[in-house]
Amino acid sequence: MKKLISITFLLITTISFAQNKNFIVEDELIMWRYIYEDSTSISKLKSNPRLEFKTDSTGIIKKTNFSDKMLHPIVAEFKIEVKKNKYRVSVFNTRFIEEPRIINKDGLLIQATNEYTIEQALLKRNKTIKKPSLFNNSTETLNPHLIQLFTIKKPAKSDW
């Protein structure tokens, strides 16, 4: 019984401290990359209200927190590369935006907004991604939202 508890504890701690493999460090920037196996045209992503396309394959993710209370709202840039029957999304220049705070300074009320990059939050001095804390793994929290964001959805048939 003690052996089973020890093995279970070891597995839980190993899993909870793992970084998501879709986040990589490249040229001192943390990037998220994911390859989708889908032959649908990426132009269908243009109808996603959270994405703003600048060109046919680049753009920005508009301010969103994906309705996840574990995340501050983010803004980021993206690039989509297409090959036969698949496409690769790269997300970079990710910035977290904390909710505005009211600061009283010498009788003046100032609204302060704090914005910080994903590199400031997760990059160590040796240019590797920090290990997550026990209850907050930002890469694991953010990953499923980004996968969902760039998944091409089949439009629902509506007869309005």
pTM for the model: 0.78
Considering the chain, what is the average pLDDT of its residues?
84
- List the beta bridge partners of residue 88: 35, 81
**53 within 8 A of 61, measured Cβ to Cβ:** no
Q: For position 19, what pLDDT does the model report?
A: 61
Q: For position 5, what pLDDT does the model report?
A: 58
Domain ranges for the chain, please list them.
19-149
To the nearest 10°, report the CA torsion of 99, 104, 108, 112: -20
The string of pLDDT tens digits covering residues 56-76 is 999 999 988 888 887 889 999
The answer regarding whether domain 19-149 maps to CATH 3.30.530 reads yes
